[in-house]
Structure 1
């Protein structure tokens, strides 16, 4: 599903055989770059480029990252991922309320709380996270 385009390159969320973490693809006939995004913060990061031997220059990869990170594009990426996967990929993770971040249970944090479930609310562009022992979910915008 198309997110946007930049310099003739199409940014898309694939709908078949996809997996966590949430990511988009940007491709050219000779290479495919994947960029991770999140449902709980607005950062975007280059995940990988395949094959590396035909990767574009670093400047173009950074320009693409900045394009994907634009609020309208990031929102569209989240919507498309949620539409195709019905997951925000926070299963078996924890929330650290002091640092306001998701952490892996394999990294000990004294105050981290298990995430029971997480859902995306596209109409508000927010993520709801139900934490263990809490009566109502935490909303992250």
Structure 2
């Protein structure tokens, strides 16, 4: 699928639903990857909030008690 179609689909999804469906999943800080579900272990943080930046083409994650936030370039 072409990149501009994906960008358009993300924009429409975000404008209508205001979710990227990542809340209450987990982020592995060291591996820089998403883990499905709530994982409790060292270096893994729960995703408290996620949003899509339409202009910057990024997904922004706010993590519970993490050393920082995460920006994923799409």
Identify which of structures 1 and 2 has the higher relative contact order when contacts are C-alpha pairs closer than 8 Å and 6+ apart.
2
> Aligned-pair RMSD on alpha carbons?
2.0
Alignment size in residue pairs: 73
Q: TM-score, normalised by structure 1?
A: 0.46
In 2, are the aligned partners of 1:93 and 1:102 still within 8 Å (CA)?
yes
Match of 1:98 in 2: 30
- Give the Å deviation of 1:115: 0.7
**Runs of 5+ unmatched residues, structure 2:** none
Q: TM-score, normalised by structure 2?
A: 0.81
**Runs of 5+ unmatched residues, structure 1:** 1-66
Q: Which structure has the bigger radius of gyration?
A: 1
Q: 2:34 aligns to what SS in structure 1?
A: strand
- Give the Å deviation of 1:135: 6.2
